């Protein structure tokens, strides 16, 4: 998704809550176990096309998000069914005209890939729709085409079910806890940004831009994560007003602090000269940030003691002789402190209700958030066009040379386009990764796999 490429939330990052087992190891173990079961169960049952289920597992692991509920799995199965219906319908419409079928399939897949990029939630459903639309095609042989397509669709759905069950049973992801961890990290980032703004003399200039970039990336990742799980997680849906208030406060803090940090004043302004209670205002805001951090850590504060906003007390006499730029800088800083106090007060009230079930929470704040779909984005159109072009280039190679795997060559070439387009990986690194994968797979499949007779050996492989 081009809108969130810089901070794309990877599947392993959705397991960021503290655990004795590292998150990346848990994610890799669950993916490997799902892949093994996707092969072993069809082989044991005598089903054909086990590689289809394994390919589905790999696609979901590369593009999807792990969830603690089965709702994602249900949506992915629905995406599989939709892809099967589209693919089989196209086969029925063009049973003898292969070129007409390929044209219709390429258009359908390009649309699905465009929706995959435009959707801001878990867009795996659109990826599976595109994949199954192509997988049900058996190369143009009319005999047994429907049974072949139905078998492929069934094995794709089986791969979705295997991955969903393993992800839900083995080290289940606590989405609500992960969301709280991300939100707590955002609070720390905003506190550090406020410290840099108030005490620039104690901060190094070199880390300023990097800190801002990390803050913006974290905010974008949090919004993307929240948009993907807010409607499918009971722990969030029950407290949606509180979470909306938290998200709205974070958006307003970003809108206040980031421009102030990026602004370069012509000269340093000593705000204590023009605002009599400036130290008290700064200490008040810092205390509010510390209290929010403590609340996210689960430290219950005294509900009877509230940090109420403090009004600004100007030293009007000292401002009369100053330039307009200085007066504007003082007024801007005073407004920033007042707005920050109001935001932190609302944020604290939302956290007290969210984490400690304190009554009396009411809010009129609503986050801008992210739209469900980002339409008319140039990058989305470019990715869909790349997929369409790649489909026809791969189809020409398939027709001319008939490489191993048949039409699966076209399917994988087309599916790779949105994965590469939305992943911040350089072509050189991709070339190295694919070369290493090929160098490992070729001798392994020739010399190791034929010698394996026990299922434990296959699982280890």
Q: What pLDDT score does 7 carry?
A: 37
Write out pLDDT tens, residues 389-413. Answer: 999 999 999 999 988 888 989 999 9
Asked whether residue 272 carries a pLDDT value surpassing 50, the answer given is yes
In 3D, which of 292, 293, 288, 407 has the Cα closest to residue 341?
288
Which residues, including other chains, have CB under 8 Å from residue 186's CB and lie 6 or more apart? 218, 219, 222, 250
Asked whether residue 141 carries a pLDDT value surpassing 80, the answer given is no
Asked whether residue 281 carries a pLDDT value surpassing 90, the answer given is yes
Asked whether residue 418 carries a pLDDT value surpassing 60, the answer given is yes
Q: Which two structure tokens, joined as six digits, stand for 134?
A: 């192509």
Residue count of the chain, please give it.
Answer: 461
**Cα distance between residue 121 and residue 227, in whole Å:** 6
Mapped onto helix, strand or coil, the DSSP state of residue 188 is helix
Write out pLDDT tens, residues 163-197. Answer: 989 988 888 777 777 788 889 999 999 999 999 99
Write out pLDDT tens, residues 110-135. Answer: 999 999 999 877 788 899 999 999 99
Helix crossing, 71-93 with 124-135: angle to 10°?
Answer: 30
Q: Which residues of 93-109 are buried (b: 16+ CB within 10 A; e: fewer)?
A: ebeeebeebbebbbebb
Task: Measure Cα distances from 368 to 52, 227, 244, 245, 249 in Å.
Answer: 41, 11, 9, 11, 10
Q: What pLDDT score does 369 carry?
A: 64
**Cα distance between residue 456 and residue 40, in whole Å:** 10
Task: Name the residue with higher pLDDT: 251 or 225.
Answer: 251
Write out pLDDT tens, residues 329-387. Answer: 899 999 999 999 999 999 999 998 888 877 777 777 777 766 778 888 898 999 999 99
Radius of gyration of the chain (CA): 27
Asked whether residue 429 carries a pLDDT value surpassing 80, the answer given is no
In 3D, which of 282, 280, 275, 292 has the Cα closest to residue 343?
292
* Mean pLDDT taken over the chain: 82
Q: What pLDDT score does 178 carry?
A: 79
Asked whether residue 267 carries a pLDDT value surpassing 50, the answer given is yes
Q: What pLDDT score does 265 carry?
A: 60
């Amino acid at each position: 998704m081009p809108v969130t490429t810089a901070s794309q939330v990877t599947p392993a990052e959705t397991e960021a809550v503290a655990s004795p087992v590292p998150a990346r190891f848990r994610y890799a173990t669950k993916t490997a176990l799902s892949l093994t079961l996707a092969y072993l169960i069809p082989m044991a049952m005598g089903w054909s096309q086990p590689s289809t289920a394994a390919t589905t597992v790999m696609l979901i692991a590369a593009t999807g998000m792990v969830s603690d509920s089965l709702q994602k799995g249900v949506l992915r199965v629905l995406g599989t069914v939709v892809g099967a219906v589209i693919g089989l319908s196209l086969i029925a419409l063009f049973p003898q005209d292969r070129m007409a079928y390929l044209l219709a399939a390429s258009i359908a897949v390009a649309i699905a890939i465009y929706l995959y990029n435009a959707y801001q939630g878990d867009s795996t459903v659109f990826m599976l729709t595109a994949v199954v639309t192509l997988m049900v095609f058996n190369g143009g042989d009319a005999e047994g085409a429907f049974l072949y397509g139905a078998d492929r669709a069934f094995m794709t759905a089986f791969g979705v079910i295997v991955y969903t069950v393993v992800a839900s049973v083995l080290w289940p992801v606590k989405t609500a806890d992960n969301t709280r961890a991300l939100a707590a990290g955002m609070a720390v980032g905003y506190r550090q940004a406020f410290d840099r703004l108030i005490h620039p003399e104690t901060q190094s200039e070199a880390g300023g831009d990097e800190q801002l970039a990390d803050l913006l990336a974290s905010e974008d990742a949090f919004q993307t994560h929240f948009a993907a799980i807010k409607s499918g997680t009971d722990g969030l849906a029950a407290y949606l007003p509180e979470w909306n208030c938290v998200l709205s406060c974070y958006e307003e803090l970003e809108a206040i602090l980031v421009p102030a940090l990026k602004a370069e004043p012509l000269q340093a302004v000593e705000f204590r000269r023009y605002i009599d209670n400036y130290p008290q205002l700064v200490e008040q805001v810092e205390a509010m940030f510390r209290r929010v951090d403590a609340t996210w850590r689960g430290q219950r504060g005294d509900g009877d003691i509230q940090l109420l906003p403090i009004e600004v007390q100007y030293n009007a006499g000292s401002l009369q002789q100053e330039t307009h730029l200085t007066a504007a800088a003082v007024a801007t800083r005073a407004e920033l402190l007042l707005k920050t106090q109001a935001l932190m007060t609302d944020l604290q009230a939302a956290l007290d209700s969210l984490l400690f079930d304190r009554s009396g929470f009411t809010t009129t704040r609503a986050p801008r958030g992210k739209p469900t779909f980002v339409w008319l984005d140039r990058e989305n159109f470019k990715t869909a066009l790349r997929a369409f072009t790649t489909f026809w280039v791969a189809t020409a190679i398939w027709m001319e040379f008939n490489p191993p795997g048949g039409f699966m060559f076209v399917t994988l070439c087309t599916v790779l386009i949105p994965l590469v387009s939305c992943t911040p990986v350089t072509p050189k690194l991709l070339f190295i990764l694919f070369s290493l994968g090929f160098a490992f797979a070729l001798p392994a499949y020739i010399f190791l796999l034929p010698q394996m007779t026990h299922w434990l050996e296959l699982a280890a492989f």
